[in-house]
Structure 1
């Protein structure tokens, strides 16, 4: 009896297989986070603290950070550590502790230490060892002590309120409840940074005096992205990023009137004579073929997911950081920037200003047209649309193109 012929598997086209894979991936994705509440506080579990304490701590820091600090500095500040060629090593918040309850308790065993200046550095948690190595490298014989705080000692929180008032000169200090705090003045409406003891981060809720509810980490990330504020080494790559490309100058992280510090030469020269052609801007992602959005807003129903593949660097709670090419949607597909990270349909992009916005930062003028379209690969063989926005606070702080006047 002849053998029965082997039946071939039914043919399925490549496009159908691709669509099936996309549907399976969509079914396993986490739901997009809810919009940030008008008021709330989010614990920043990705941040860690380093303590510096001693009489020569201010002088030591003055030679390393981009902001101005002295022994009389009482308000918290935002700053960065740079390499000698002027690239960003770490972006940090600095909390002066002298006079606070934490300072008294931490240095109670040292009578002289109670009167000496102390500081807490808030830094990206994954880079705390790298920053400690950098500090030890330059410490030499300077008279101060430093250590990394355990995660259980103090937790970092971001607090915001709907009716808060903000100015560029707002300063932070220790609160009346003994909590260390500073005003996050990087952009309007960013609120405050708080350092709360372990009892406030162990699931027991926030102190009732704050009168706000706890919000998820994604709420803090969304609020940053909508304002165009990068944070940490996933979004500001260490030893690769120029501070002005990542808005450290317009976010108040650089004092251009202070004395010498590591990395100052290129930074001050760029400020006075150079042109900053690329900056971080908030961007919106939208489906291919759809019309570009007209306003900057987060819509959970419009969330666009990207498959990151080998470039994946997951953060916390539905947030992701990566660096994917942004391209002009034409035949040449020229790169015009990098997508840094996204949550739902909102992200941050390192954009060429004169190609992706109406800003003119050089004498050449902007080549941007409102009809221009930009795309980024979705990691699944397709593309999604992308549009950059220039918030008012960024537009107001970027200097216009300098026109060279000819002497007749």
Structure 2
């Protein structure tokens, strides 16, 4: 089978959609399928083209057996709703045109957010009479409303109509949480054609390891207890709570605790400015690093923090960072309610804390810092639980769903993990 996959992000970018798409497609190629990915030139999150690439109309390369077609787009940093929307729209148009030149395709997959990529995949499927599969990693445009990035109610309503149109036209919908499936079913989408394939981790890249001594010395973290947030610093993540937590820890005299924040995003400069204004020397901000270096930075952490704003929409989200932390054997303090908190509690891989509650987060950090035996148990639980969420297993589940949907036009049955 020849799978055409449209994704706005792809390796060497290091965000969640780039990693998930690459790791799934790599496994499909290993299973004997042909995979073509149409994506943009790597530039996320700063809007700066990566070395070795140029933003031109068409360029092609092969990565791990995957044919990767990169198309020209408007490029902006991952900040500012208008500019990002123009970026998304330009990719939708470029990807749809480029897809016309990919031959002998059996199925087209579009991943969202943002759903303009899914629009392109639907259009390609309609024009070329191909089955259209929609992967839903976050509910969009609901997430725009949740973070207040758009005030226009009529435009949001229009986008929701397009969203529902895509769901109804898809031969198969793949969601990353059961909660998302329930939400879509409640909105009238046929539940029988919705398959759940969660996020996970690549155990070839992420696994327990000692703290990297060179990095630890370089960052002056050798004699400190390190709490880390690794990922996008965006509107949805509510990272002001970590700034407040750092202040509370300083006020409580916890001078041997450092909070490391690695990544980029729309809110990063604001967070840095606030930390500087408050003189919070226990906060360390680092820029994004190449994908093959991320595990070294994970190794520095004694505890991971994963956080989203306090909004009912985010109760249907399972951040992919949770699985990377589990693969690294690092306990997580999870400031996310809902399905993600259920995973943390069920497997005993950390502690759920209320989102946007700095006092609770600071108390949890201090409690686990003073409980080395508890942290050791959580590390063991992490390595046991992650076996349910490995990329080869998850890629196989999604492939089975696609194979079931494509030849027979029958709705795929839900495939879930234990």
TM-score (norm 2): 0.27
Higher strand share: 1
More helix by share: 2
TM-score by length of 1: 0.27
Structure with max Cα Rg: 1
